Structure 1
């Protein structure tokens, strides 16, 4: 199809469909243009889809792609790059068999003659070991250790310098969670909170788990539940990719995309993909549930419009209100948009832009309002926004002004980076022809006095004309002016990544 026949000529879907064929074990030096800030020193770690292929087979959904870790080492004005696959059990089994032998979110594995019906029945009681452990979504610190995350209860510790996979942890061994979100909250004192599902007194509950910071010990050893709430539909709990935290509350957004627990058990018996456990209920509104951080009990729940979301931007309390900012879609078709066939055929799909069209919305809740009061979700700016980030260390769970994101509008400038002023509605953008940025991460300048005083770090890949290349873009967070970039020629294709974390170098 020529560019004249394309519905979305500004978007090259090939950036999501690439497979890395050769890892970069030893750091390679980047070609620097501009000038890296003298104070910027540390490691930017990234995670995301790395390979859709296993031997002659291919995955059917972007969430199934083998986790590829990226490292940008920044020091003394220079930048190095490495990438390596996460050595999960799933990755190792697939590589050994040269085919897909572990069922994923959207892909059914080939039948395993050694996997009996008794094994599948046993899997119902230990889903963490029966399901894929391909942790390809995000990367987060637990104290001085770095772990990769997906929504299954298995996480992996990696070496932040070599990207070696060091340890595999099933969180069911620490705390009885069936699953958890891919985006825990890291508190200023080092404590970590995450939301998941667990059986409490033989009932399924949404739970908040605390991993207390321990400078000299195992943060998982003393993990415990600090909050819980009954799902709106007990056998169909809501799917939640993120959650919010404020001074007094854990904020749970129960959208009408549910997960059938009965279907999960059936899938484990039939080796079916996890995606068919999801069901969208357009006739139901979204609930915002507040769990007290003091008592751990549900305090109140409120209602807003029917919406689908993946990422909460921020939540905070101010002047008797609770504010929830999130990237909202009108329905859950965004999940379908990530099937590989949908990505491949998007240029002839007149509905694709609507499937992926999110808008940043704000829900302002009066905390003294009665139970189940309805509050509108209002659009902050008319721009597609995804993978939002803020000045996290100082403003997570607190009143804030700015957030940064990448565009979700495939019929606009889909490779662009966006800065939103939530107070004035002003939007600033950075974009360039055939360039595709990933989630921007804010790094504050030393002794910064303003919320947006610092830089944004974002990996950059090019379209199909330049697949064997990657760059690290450094932007001034105030103006979005490009300060510097480091460009790398790589031995293999580099796919667009998802999420990451910046680890500053210690003084």
Structure 2
């Protein structure tokens, strides 16, 4: 194992290609890894991550990193040892595709193929029948919602997962709760309640819809936690035909903050996309450089929309870092990973001819929103100038924090990162000090990390007292996978665990750590 701080020359690769790998089979029985270093004995539980695991079905290939069939991965940690296994999420999309031997449900960047056995008319009918046919391929996130472990994507379905076996236990359809068309795959839990934001595109105007899952003692006779969800707020969007895309949101003690950003969805094109033969949902999305970003602030307790009209420059945001209040509750500080266009999405195609996509991560930026109750004011009176924190050209995305500080004043963020003065394929983990702008780096040649998850040490008081977990894939050897354990305080490597299997290891998106009982 090379020293993690060394920079060693390696072959250039396209980051998106790490998502084009296919796990040829499930690994149902945990495989023990080879540990270099020492895993803290207090670290006991399951590190669960989600992401694409199958890049093709029959003759059809998925085109985008956000398309492949979901594969749930689990790293089991106990007594200084580690094991690995993975299972495919048994979604309806997975089952339908495999039953037909082709891609029959459209994804973010891939349109479903028409029935190859039909004539011209039958193929056209096949296209029409898929308009509004939602994928339930929940490959984006896996996270607890109440007492359930759930796999999520951006369509309105939650898959319940058995944490002991990774079996898919069933599906909840949020269309039945609030007639949702999409959801943000990053819910928040605060004071025992879980909040999830979705969108509804029906006339007369598209809306954000905020769902609240109550505390277990407030379920009022509901059979399951997921059935207890209630609509707590609806926020109208600015445009009737071109609603804004949303992937995440922010929460504080008193507020929920939604970004109506400049990446828009062309509803007329979406409705016609199948007959037009468009290439998946992404073909109906566009960054509008003339459209400002608007902040919607919703009272977390009452669901009332704050009257302040707060806007800033055009931006695209996948992920919020954190948010908190100051000056009582009259200022909201919100940190985001901000892009000035949608180039990241375009760079994540996994199959391309004659060009190599260049992936550049976001800048971490802070907004301070001044709330003036009962008054609608222009943005210049309500928002301080946006600024970037990071020294040395740090870029990053997939941010995580110590979740004990979610919605509260905090200092540290952990990111999947690049630096402006390094090669595009030089991807590393970073610890960002938001007070000073300084950052620390973990890097290992030929290995590519994914989202870092911070696990606080039991009984800890300091914000950065704990460890960081990140799954690793090898840049050139598809079958090599590993897990790194990093000290969250010093950012030094504590353990590197490699798992030897004969099965390819695609890159991952988001996940969580579930403490052992």
TM-score, with structure 1 as normaliser: 0.90
Which of residues 207, 224, 233 is equivalent to 2:230? 224
Measure the CA separation in 2 of the matches of 1:399 and 1:161: 35
Measure the CA separation in 2 of the matches of 1:448 and 1:25: 34
* Secondary structure of residue in 2 paired with 1:50: strand
Which of residues 83, 87, 92 is equivalent to 2:90? 87
Which of residues 135, 147, 152 is equivalent to 2:150? 147
Which of residues 326, 337, 340 is equivalent to 1:327? 337
1:428 shift after superposition: 0.3
1:432 shift after superposition: 1.2
* Secondary structure of residue in 2 paired with 1:63: coil
Q: How has the CA–CA distance of structure 1 residues 143 and 365 changed in structure 2, closer, same or farther, with 3 Å as cutoff? A: closer
8 Å CA contact 1:456, 1:477 repeated in 2: yes
Q: How has the CA–CA distance of structure 1 residues 235 and 492 changed in structure 2, closer, same or farther, with 3 Å as cutoff? A: same
Measure the CA separation in 1 of the matches of 2:125 and 2:95: 23
8 Å CA contact 1:244, 1:314 repeated in 2: yes
8 Å CA contact 1:248, 1:292 repeated in 2: yes
* Secondary structure of residue in 2 paired with 1:384: strand
Partner of 1:345: 355
1:123 shift after superposition: 6.6
289-298 or 329-338, which moves further after superposition? Answer: 289-298
CA RMSD of the aligned region, Å? 2.5
Measure the CA separation in 2 of the matches of 1:202 and 1:167: 33
Q: How has the CA–CA distance of structure 1 residues 167 and 93 changed in structure 2, closer, same or farther, with 3 Å as cutoff? A: same
Partner of 2:470: 458
Measure the CA separation in 2 of the matches of 1:137 and 1:260: 23
Matched, 1:306 2:314: yes
Which of residues 101, 107, 112 is equivalent to 2:110? 107
TM-score, with structure 2 as normaliser: 0.89
Measure the CA separation in 2 of the matches of 1:317 and 1:242: 19
8 Å CA contact 1:420, 1:428 repeated in 2: yes
8 Å CA contact 2:72, 2:89 repeated in 1: yes
Partner of 1:204: 206
Measure the CA separation in 1 of the matches of 2:475 and 2:20: 11
Partner of 2:288: 281
1:255 shift after superposition: 0.8
Q: Which digits, 9 at most, give the CA deviation of each residue in 1:352-396, with x for residues without a partner?
A: 25xx2411011112223852313322101131111000001x211
1:338 shift after superposition: 0.8
1:371-450 correspondence to structure 2 within 5 Å: 371-374=377-380, 375=383, 376-381=385-390, 382-392=393-403, 394-408=404-418, 411-412=423-424, 414-450=426-462
1:17 shift after superposition: 2.2
Which of residues 24, 27, 49 is equivalent to 2:30? 27
1:161-200 correspondence to structure 2 within 5 Å: 161-189=164-192, 191-198=193-200
Q: Which digits, 9 at most, give the CA deviation of each residue in 1:180-213, with x for residues without a partner?
A: 1011112241x21111113688543111111113
Q: How has the CA–CA distance of structure 1 residues 174 and 271 changed in structure 2, closer, same or farther, with 3 Å as cutoff? A: farther
Measure the CA separation in 2 of the matches of 1:418 and 1:199: 38
* Secondary structure of residue in 1 paired with 2:178: coil
1:11 shift after superposition: 6.3
8 Å CA contact 2:401, 2:412 repeated in 1: yes
1:251 shift after superposition: 0.2
Partner of 2:215: 213
Which of residues 351, 363, 366 is equivalent to 1:359? 363
Measure the CA separation in 2 of the matches of 1:200 and 1:307: 25
115-124 or 394-403, which moves further after superposition? Answer: 115-124
Partner of 2:346: 336
Which of residues 490, 493, 505 is equivalent to 1:479? 490
Which of residues 259, 270, 291 is equivalent to 1:253? 259
Partner of 1:469: 480
Partner of 2:3: none
Measure the CA separation in 1 of the matches of 2:164 and 2:354: 35
Partner of 1:3: none
Q: How has the CA–CA distance of structure 1 residues 420 and 473 changed in structure 2, closer, same or farther, with 3 Å as cutoff? A: same
1:221 shift after superposition: 2.0
Measure the CA separation in 2 of the matches of 1:455 and 1:7: 28
Alignment length (residue pairs): 488
Matched, 1:296 2:303: yes
Q: How has the CA–CA distance of structure 1 residues 209 and 184 changed in structure 2, closer, same or farther, with 3 Å as cutoff? A: same
Measure the CA separation in 2 of the matches of 1:7 and 1:477: 27
30-39 or 10-19, which moves further after superposition? Answer: 10-19
Q: How has the CA–CA distance of structure 1 residues 12 and 241 changed in structure 2, closer, same or farther, with 3 Å as cutoff? A: closer
Measure the CA separation in 2 of the matches of 1:443 and 1:330: 32
Q: How has the CA–CA distance of structure 1 residues 57 and 161 changed in structure 2, closer, same or farther, with 3 Å as cutoff? A: same
8 Å CA contact 2:256, 2:300 repeated in 1: yes
Q: How has the CA–CA distance of structure 1 residues 451 and 336 changed in structure 2, closer, same or farther, with 3 Å as cutoff? A: same
Q: How has the CA–CA distance of structure 1 residues 115 and 294 changed in structure 2, closer, same or farther, with 3 Å as cutoff? A: farther
Measure the CA separation in 1 of the matches of 2:13 and 2:110: 29
